[in-house]
Every structure is written in C-alpha cells, then in structure tokens.
A and B are shown apart, each in its own frame.
Chain A
Amino acid sequence: MEHSERPEYPDDHKRFSLNEDWAATIVGLVLFLACLLGLLTPELIP
C-alpha cells in the first residue's frame, strides 16, 4: 500500500490524545489547587 493511501488508524491518535487530554486536565487542576492553597500567588506569577 502506498504511503498516500495508508488510512489513519483510530488507535494511532486515540492513545496519545487520551493521555494528552488527561495530562492537561490534571495539570490544570493541580495549578488551580496550588492557587487555592496559596502556594502560587499573583505576586509569584510574572
């Protein structure tokens, strides 16, 4: 099969995007938690 004819496999992307999706969600929530706990204050953020 030629390169241009190779179909995308759903799992090719799903596996990575799922991780990225969760990672972004967790990073966002951790940053929010750090703000709520007072670990990150407006003065510390440039």
Chain B
Amino acid sequence: MSAADRTADETVPAAAAPAAPAPGSPAPPAPEPAPPTKASPAWTLAGLAVVVLLAWLVSVLTDQVPELTAGTWFGNIAESIEYPVYAIALGFAGNTVLSATGVRRRMAAAFRTEFFIKIGLVLLGATVNFAIVVRAAGPAVLQAVLLITVVFLFTWWFAGLLGLDDKLRALLATALSICGVSAAVAAAGAVEAKKEQLAYTATLVIVFAVPSIFLLPWLANLMGLSPAVTGAWIGGNIDTTAAVTAAGAVAGEQPLQIASIVKVTQNALLGVVAVLLSLYFSLRVASSAPAEQGRRFGDRSTLAVIWSRFPKFVLGFLLASVVATVLAESLPEAVLEPRLDAAKELQTWALTLAFVAIGLEFNASSVREAGWKPILVFAAATLVNLVVGLGLAVLLFRGFTF
C-alpha cells in the first residue's frame, strides 16, 4: 500500500492511499481541495518508530500476560490470545491517540501494511514444506477459480441491482472476490475508477476484514473443522492478505500455512482478472472520453498486463519454500533448525508490524461518505463468500493431511 503517497492528499482516507499518484509520476490534472501534507523523512521515521514500538509491546504482552495472569480467571483466556489480537488492538489504540493529537496523517507513510505483510509471507515460505505447497496447489487453484467466479458475478449482479455505477461494481466485485485493497487498486487501474470509489472500497475491505480475523477461526473451531479446511476457508474468504494471515495465525500454524497458500493463489490470479476487466471495459463499458480511449486494452500485450499485475512476493514465497525444503534434505537438523527458527522469528516480527499497521492506517470517514448501498453489497457478498467458500473448503481440503 502506498502509504507514502497518501499524505500528499489530506482528503483521501488512509485505506485509499494506493490510488494516490506515485512519487515521480505526473501530477494530477485537477487542483486538490485541501492543502497537502508532505511526508517528511522525520515524520516518517517517527511513524516507523511508533510501529516498531507497538510491535515490541505486542511481543511483551504475548510473553508476559499469560505468565502474569496464570492462576487467575483471565489466565486461560490469556493463554489463547495470539499475537495478532494484541497487534490489531494496539494498532487501533495507536490510531486513536495519533488521530487525537493530529499527527497520524503526517506519520502515515510509515504505516505500510502491505510492505510488511509481503516480507512476512516471503519468510513464511521458509517454514512451509514445498511438498505441502505442491499438494495444496491443485485444490487451491480450483477453489480460487470457483470462488472468484461465484463471488465476482454475484457482487457484480447485486451491485447492478442496486443501481451502482459500473466502475464501482467492478471495484467491489474484484476486492471481494480476490484480495481486497490490492485487487481494488488493480481494478481501479483497469477500469479507471474514481478516487472516491477506490477510497470507500478500500475502507470497506478493512471494515469487513477485521471482525473476520477473529470470527472465522472461532466459527471454524465451533464447527470442528480440520486445520486444512479452516485454513482454506480463511484464505478463500477474508479479502485482504494481511487479515488472512492474521486469522490464520489466530487459528494455528497449520491453518496459517493453508490459508497463505490459498490466498497467494488468489493473489496470483489478480493479473488475469485485471486483464479481463480491462478487456470488458474497453469493449462494453468505457465511455467515449479521449483519456479512456487512450487506455484501451490493445495498448499492451495480455501477458505483459498479467505480469505487471502479478504479485512478485509470490515468487519470493515459493523460492523460500523450495530452498528450505531442499536444505532440509541435505543439511543436518541441528544445523538447519536454528536458522529456520531465526527466519520464523523475523516472520513473526514482519507480520506483527503489518497487523499493527492495519489498525494505525484505518480511517472510517470514507465509509460514512459511501452510503448504504456499497455496504449492503459488501455484506451480502461476504455472506455468499462465507457459505460457498465453506462448501468448497470442505469439498477440496477435507482429506488434506500435513
């Protein structure tokens, strides 16, 4: 998420930051209605210090709370609280404090959820045996294709029923069916959506994803789902990759592995959907404005677009998994184990930074501006996603063993 850019426009909610122009890109053609706040290195460093401090506090709480509360009524509850819970709670608390003191937007360039989550997922690859990736790939691809198709078409249809604009329909459908904010950004590019449409789509993603982090692992436990089915359900349902990882971590190590593989598969299909959207909007929906004609699909080859939208961290995830798996076959366990332990410690740190940043960068104002229709679409599509996703997860991952 291009947090660095969001400070260039005070009117854009934090979650919409990816849409802001990149550093060095052409300036927007229209004047901004509010005076811009530049992201100075000092404020960015201060923001980074806040993220790291909160992440450190998370590790202290995760270690100390169970010990300090042992033997009390809270002891058993504290034992079951995983680090994502503390991280997200502290992130939101930090958000409240920084917003109240008026410095949150100045520090926002440091709240880079997607950057941290991608580092964490590459490192997570080192802890996932490549054989699991290979075995899970088939059902994961099948689940992703079916789920993306069903959820995308339902969202497109339902949003159309409510009379929403085609571009907003595309954004909502892509965000809900693929990978949240990243997908919404890619779709916004493909269909040339308005900045405001991307803003509240991105915020809705976070509003719906945060409760899911806790709700889905709890429901999976209640239904007695296996670790693989739990992971597949989480990975297929929660829109944003950071929240999938948080929910997977809450559910356990094995659900986290499958959730990551399923989500990474969905991420990898983003390019294909972006191409299809570009094609559809070029042929059927695009207006006759000269700027939009200039963005027609024929500008570049299909493969080039797919590659440009392909999330590159997937390659890092796969490479780390292959390397760790090969080394496990060739190095003594006593040599490899501490090295992989170190990678796992760093992975936990990167994910904690990402979960803290989820809370810190959240901005609810654009939800209020969105009106009830996109919220209704999001709620209905999430319900469809939950039900169909559960069916597919049970069907495809029921017999999966680790």
Contact = CB atoms under 8 A, between A and B. Distances in A.
Interface of A: 1-18, 20-29, 31-32, 35-36, 38, 40-42, 44-46
Contacts of A25: 118, 122, 312-313, 315-316
Contacts of A13: 2, 18-20, 22, 185, 188-189
B21 interface: yes
A27 B119 contact: yes
B316 A29 contact: yes
B33 interface: yes
Given A5-B194, A40-B346, A41-B338, A31 B123 contact: yes
Given A3-B195, A12-B189, 15 more contacts: A3-B33, A5-B194, A7-B192, A9-B295, A10-B188, A12-B21, A13-B185, A16-B25, A17-B182, A24-B313, A25-B315, A35-B339, A35-B340, A42-B345, A45-B342
Nearest to B346: A31
Interface of B: 1-2, 4-5, 11, 18-25, 28-33, 56, 59, 112, 114-116, 118-123, 126, 182, 185, 188-190, 192-196, 198, 291-292, 295, 308-309, 311-313, 315-316, 319-320, 323, 327, 338-343, 345-346, 349-350
A2 B235 CA distance: 39
A14 B189 contact: yes
A38 B1 CA distance: 31
Nearest to B342: A35
B196 A4 contact: yes
A24 B347 CA distance: 12
Contacts of A10: 188-190, 192, 295
Given A28-B320, A35-B342, A6 B59 contact: no
Contact of A7 (B59, B194, B311, B316): B194
B29 A6 contact: yes
A8 B195 contact: yes
Contacts of B115: 20, 23-24
B121 A40 contact: no
A37 B22 CA distance: 36
A13 to B, nearest CB: 5
Contact of B29 (A1, A23, A36): A1
Contacts of A31: 119, 123, 343, 346
A13 B26 CA distance: 11
A28 B254 CA distance: 21
Contacts of B189: 8-14
A3 B119 CA distance: 35
10 contacts: A2-B30, A4-B194, A7-B192, A8-B188, A11-B25, A13-B189, A24-B316, A28-B350, A31-B119, A32-B122
